[in-house]
Amino acid sequence: MTGDKYTLKRFDIQQEDEIDVAVLESIPFDYPESATEVVYETDEFTAVCPWTGLPDFAKLTISYVPTDSLVELKSLKYYLTSYRNVGILQEHAVNRILNDLVGLLKPVTMTIEAEYRERGGIKTKASARYNAQE
């Protein structure tokens, strides 16, 4: 037998330009001076390995202090779902989400954290932070 049957196995992988940033919407926040912290969590974030197409599953936490706008939640769900078949490194995903949401909301601060489920004996946690003061 020449090589194993998995050597050439690969699933379809979408490119990063399939991430649907256009679906993101903001809504007004009426208390910009309040230093309110907003936290969104989901255990259903998925993307795929850019080399194999195998799925990566993560608990994703988005926390931020808004200025004058919030992300509209339905649009956030659609945006996050658009990652489902995108080949992106785990460490890159948190930075991409951070950049897209900071561009939309211009928050005071924002942190994106992803805790990926164990695969191949390794569990990954990645986080990216933004601070308007820095």
The pLDDT score that the predictor gives to residue 12 is: 79
Q: What end-to-end distance do the CA atoms of the chain give, in Å?
A: 58
Domains parsed from the chain with CATH numbers: 16-131 (3.30.1130.10)
The pLDDT score that the predictor gives to residue 71 is: 98
State the catalytic residues.
49, 56
For residue range 56-103, what is the model confidence (pLDDT) as tens digits? 999 999 999 999 999 999 999 999 999 999 999 999 999 999 999 999
Residue 33: beta bridge partners? Answer: none
Residue 128: beta bridge partners? Answer: 112
The pLDDT score that the predictor gives to residue 120 is: 82
The pLDDT score that the predictor gives to residue 53 is: 87
Length of the chain: 134
What does 19-54 look like in DSSP terms, one character per residue?
Answer: S-GGG--EEE-S-TTS---EEEEEEEEEEE-TTT--
For residue range 21-66, what is the model confidence (pLDDT) as tens digits? 999 999 999 999 999 999 999 999 999 999 888 899 999 999 999 9
Q: Which residues contact 111 (CB under 8 A, 6 or more apart)?
A: 61, 62, 63, 64, 98, 127, 128, 129, 130
Residue 59: beta bridge partners? Answer: 115
The pLDDT score that the predictor gives to residue 31 is: 97
Residue 119 has pLDDT above 70, yes or no: yes
How confident is residue 10, by pLDDT bands cut at 50, 70 and 90? low
How confident is residue 1, by pLDDT bands cut at 50, 70 and 90? very low
**Vertex 60 angle, CA 72 and 57, to 5°:** 125
Residue with tokens 């990652």: 83
Strand order in the sheet with 55-65: 38-48, 55-65, 109-116, 125-131
